[in-house]
Structure 1
Amino acid sequence: MQERGLKITEFVSLFNLEVLNKGSDFETAQLTITDVNRPGLQFHDFYDYFDPRRLQVIGKAEVTYLKGLSDERRRKCFDDLFLYDIPALVISRGLDCFPECLESAQEHEKTLLRTQETTVDFTSHTIEHLNRVLAPCVTRHGVLLDIYGEGVMITGDSGIGKSESAIELIMRGHRLVADDAVELRRISNQLIGTAPEVIRYYIELRGIGVIDVRQLFGLRAIKTESPLDLVVHFEQWDNTKFYDRLGIEEHFTQILDVQVPYLVIPVRPGRNLASIVEVAAMNNRQRRYGVNAAQELARRVDLRADGGRM
């Protein structure tokens, strides 16, 4: 699992923030947790359970309270806050910065920012973005495609036919998300897959080389990201191994503590793997909606054996 962080410099650029004061760690500081704090309680000298790693945001409520304080008391509020190793303090709504706040930030060498967004909008947008950027992430070897709205990741040994099947599926109108390396992030107990930026939209085909799917097939053939709904694993056909022919039991694999439906597809000459994966995606969607053809067939067989009518 990769440790992630968002640099303050990137955050400032992304949210178009005004820099009122650059702290000593402005170039190196990172946001490493998704929580955002409004330091109203801290201005009342309550620092129990205060996490300095959080981005600090003050809005109209905090500013109105601070206006009612004396200059000395207001300065103390900011001095106490800036004694902690916070990543930055953001003033929302484009509100005026108190002189005491700017002076304290300069003295303690802390980053002071300002946004024109309302406090609620800014905090919600920040938390939403941080939830994506800082989400737990792993990289898996495989091909991720969007097939009829189902995110399907094909895995298997190198050279078994994953990319070739992906190309045929793309030619049938489905969309490529990632080839070779699939980055998976857990967001709200759901896995979201994408491709590393450097290899996005490229597929390697043995005998042909690397192709650019976006240039060759157009924008309809690609997708930036997709939920992961099904893992299909290709393996060489083994005559000594028993393969499930009914599919009554569901199998799962666990990625980042999230269970994902899992199928093993045996590969041998003559099998149309693209068609099989396509049907697997449709069948997985049906099962999610409560329709299981194998269980329905078993129910009918049991009913006939008991002498009942279907």
Structure 2
Amino acid sequence: MYTYTTVREIVESLNLEVLNEGNLDLKIDIPNIYQIGYELVGFLDKESDELNKYINICSLKESRFIATFSKERKEKVISEYMSLDFPALIFTKDAIIAEEFYYYAKKHNKNILLSNEKASVTVRKLKFFLSKALSIEEEYENYSLMEIHGVGVLMSGYPNARKGVMIELLERGHRMITDKNLIIRRVGENDLVGYNSKKREKLGHFYLEDIKGGYVDVTDHFGVKSTRIEKKINILIVLEEWNEKEFYDRLGLDVQYEDFVGEKIQKYIIPVRKGRNLAVIIETAALTFRLRRMGLNTPLEFLTKSQEIIERKKKEREENMDTNRLPVTKLINEFDLEIKYGEDKVTSTYIKSSNVYRPSLSLIGFFDLIEEVTNIGIQIFSKIEFKFLENLCPSERVNNLKKFLTYDIPMIVLTVDANPPDYFFDLVKKSGHILAIAPYKKASQIVANFNNYLDSFFSETISVHGVLVELFGFGVLLTGKSGIGKSETALELIHRGHRLIADDMVKFFRDTQGDVVGKSAELPFFMEIRGLGIIDIKTLYGLSAVRLSKSLDLIIELQAIDSTDYMSAPSTHLYEDVLGKPIKKRILEISSGRNAAAMVEVMVMDHMSGLLGQK
């Protein structure tokens, strides 16, 4: 549908005076206005829409500036400007109109108009007229429109699911514009606004039609705050029945669009199946749209980081690197160590052992133990080591240190109050070793902290397909077949205030206490939702919604229900071996009408009550 207005209609609507009549029947189909400025100093963008398609306005301020020009300059600027294709030039009240405007208006058959209002009033009235005159609207019967987190969300497809999710979204505090009979109007140059065309029996009340043809009074049930008359449309959600053979967007880089009234709206296709909480997914789609408007492209960020990891691993394979090693930089960053010497070597030095030593026997010249070790660990020096060195004669002290520093030590770490003598600094500097200072006074504290960190890093690990979340202080692993709804269940749990550790691939290891601890395999806090793609939980929900690692307490396997025996015995005595430790396991059967996230919460609370001795 194509709409336009004419200069003549603008003259009649705004009661403008025609100073020079060009073509008053010239068609205008763009609702934009341009107030001239740069053109007055000779800067003309002759290809711009502003100077070729928009109505131009000259106010008192600009006309006064033109009046200061010399005759030659005025002639040059106005002649070039008036040769362009803008449909009309409107002078506002009290503007000083140079004779050259009349001359070149006649020469180029230009419309020159005069408003009896000031510039601000003229602009406001003209914008209002153009937005109404050039608006295009069409009716769409089977579309719903809601405002979710300030985003206009258009919904279509799967009527039963759509009506059900609208009720849940209203319960969550969002606002309804219409459930059907939607009119979409194009306003401005490319904005679309939707509103309800259906006549209401009760003034000021909004209704939602149920699947049986009855009506729910949304205003009575949820209050006036749950409705609004119109809303700008930002995204389209298409709900369709889950098809195992269908490919649904799992990354989010390929943006799809659908055309409405000549404009394109970004589209998400969300598959509907039992166990999926559509309300949470649609809320997340709205938040994701807002993030993209802010310039945060989560799928692109995820792809970039993934490619960096792939390139790094490829390089390690080409160089035959031992992957079971820890860069010194990670330990430095983890414990906020201050580098004294060897800063140029921290990026190329690796720790290959979880052992952390205090070099007591080596300082007296006994090196048999250190020579037996294949990979020498980090060496810790405190005040005690330097007091011992002071008891040795100078030559023995220096010789023992020189011999000690010939070994391949990844890093030497001092306690914060060690106060080493100058000869120690000189020998370490000459040897080229990395010397760092830890923010601890006790060497035993450094050894304990380093051991915990290094033991975790070098311990045996396994990777498990699932989602690890923290509920009520318990680490819970959600498992199940691909597409069963693990990520969607976890997403709703996060929405309920719980925390994400890892999605899709969880890496488990045994810590020094023997607990099985899980963390993200590579990229933390990203989650994949079919239909939306990759989302960043930390950015969407904040730091309180994530954590880096968590000990595993319970495994819950999601299964599609395949029995009508709803009174079957619960799975309370199942265990699964993870790195040699038996972990309690429960089975959760997914079916329509069951809220998987709520059931997971109940299972965790039941597990908690069992630990407290309740049966």
Normalised by the shorter chain, which TM-score bucket?
Answer: 0.7 to 0.9
Once the two structures are overlaid, the 10-residue window that deviates more, 9-18 or 179-188, is 9-18
Counterparts of 1:67 and 1:6, CA distance in 2:
34
Deviation of residue 163 (structure 1)?
1.7
What is residue 282 of structure 1 aligned with on the other side? 605
Q: Aligned pair in 2 of structure 1 residues 58, 244: CA closer, same or farther (>3 Å)?
A: farther
- Whether 1:194 aligns to 2:514 is no
Matches within 5 A, 1:96-245: 96-115=419-438, 117-120=440-443, 121-187=445-511, 188-196=513-521, 198-200=523-525, 202-239=526-563, 245=569
Q: Aligned pair in 2 of structure 1 residues 57, 162: CA closer, same or farther (>3 Å)?
A: same
Instruction: Judge conservation of contact 2:571–2:586 (CA < 8 Å) in 1.
Output: no
Deviation of residue 24 (structure 1)?
9.3
For 2:363, the aligned partner's letter is F
Instruction: Judge conservation of contact 2:501–2:524 (CA < 8 Å) in 1.
Output: no
Q: Which has the larger radius of gyration?
A: 2
1:223-248 superposed Cα distances (whole Å, 9 cap, x missing partner): 4432211111123344599x961446
Counterparts of 1:4 and 1:289, CA distance in 2:
40
For 1:232, the aligned partner's letter is I
For 2:611, the aligned partner's letter is R
Instruction: Judge conservation of contact 1:78–1:100 (CA < 8 Å) in 2.
Output: no
For 2:440, the aligned partner's letter is E
Instruction: Judge conservation of contact 1:24–1:109 (CA < 8 Å) in 2.
Output: no
1:252-272 superposed Cα distances (whole Å, 9 cap, x missing partner): 111222221112333344443
SS in 2 for 1:41: helix
What is residue 295 of structure 2 aligned with on the other side? none
1:15-58 superposed Cα distances (whole Å, 9 cap, x missing partner): 44444442996543222333321111222233344345221112
Counterparts of 1:244 and 1:32, CA distance in 2:
52
- Whether 1:43 aligns to 2:368 is no
Counterparts of 2:462 and 2:578, CA distance in 1:
8
1:6 paired residue among 298, 317, 326: 326
Counterparts of 1:235 and 1:83, CA distance in 2:
60
Counterparts of 2:582 and 2:350, CA distance in 1:
31
Superposition TM-score, scaled by structure 2 size: 0.42
Counterparts of 2:460 and 2:416, CA distance in 1:
32
What is residue 253 of structure 1 aligned with on the other side? 576
What is residue 90 of structure 1 aligned with on the other side? 413
Q: Aligned pair in 2 of structure 1 residues 38, 178: CA closer, same or farther (>3 Å)?
A: same
Q: Aligned pair in 2 of structure 1 residues 228, 46: CA closer, same or farther (>3 Å)?
A: same
Identity across the alignment (%): 28
Q: Aligned pair in 2 of structure 1 residues 185, 74: CA closer, same or farther (>3 Å)?
A: same
Instruction: Judge conservation of contact 1:23–1:110 (CA < 8 Å) in 2.
Output: no
Q: Aligned pair in 2 of structure 1 residues 146, 13: CA closer, same or farther (>3 Å)?
A: closer
SS in 1 for 2:559: strand
1:207-234 superposed Cα distances (whole Å, 9 cap, x missing partner): 3333333444445443443221111112
- Whether 1:61 aligns to 2:384 is yes
Deviation of residue 78 (structure 1)?
0.9
Counterparts of 2:527 and 2:591, CA distance in 1:
23
Superposition TM-score, scaled by structure 1 size: 0.78
Deviation of residue 155 (structure 1)?
0.8
SS in 2 for 1:65: helix
What is residue 282 of structure 2 aligned with on the other side? none
SS in 2 for 1:275: helix
Quote the RMSD (CA, aligned, Å).
Answer: 3.3
SS in 1 for 2:464: strand
Q: Aligned pair in 2 of structure 1 residues 38, 183: CA closer, same or farther (>3 Å)?
A: same
The unaligned stretches of length 5 or more in structure 1 are 293-310
Deviation of residue 4 (structure 1)?
4.2
Once the two structures are overlaid, the 10-residue window that deviates more, 10-19 or 49-58, is 10-19
SS in 2 for 1:198: coil
What is residue 353 of structure 2 aligned with on the other side? 33
Instruction: Judge conservation of contact 1:193–1:226 (CA < 8 Å) in 2.
Output: yes
Instruction: Judge conservation of contact 1:23–1:109 (CA < 8 Å) in 2.
Output: no
For 2:342, the aligned partner's letter is K
Q: Aligned pair in 2 of structure 1 residues 105, 138: CA closer, same or farther (>3 Å)?
A: same
Instruction: Judge conservation of contact 2:463–2:521 (CA < 8 Å) in 1.
Output: no
For 1:38, the aligned partner's letter is R
The unaligned stretches of length 5 or more in structure 2 are 1-321
Q: Aligned pair in 2 of structure 1 residues 34, 105: CA closer, same or farther (>3 Å)?
A: same
Instruction: Judge conservation of contact 2:476–2:554 (CA < 8 Å) in 1.
Output: yes
Higher RCO (Cα < 8 Å, 6 or more apart): 1
Matches within 5 A, 1:267-306: 267-292=590-615
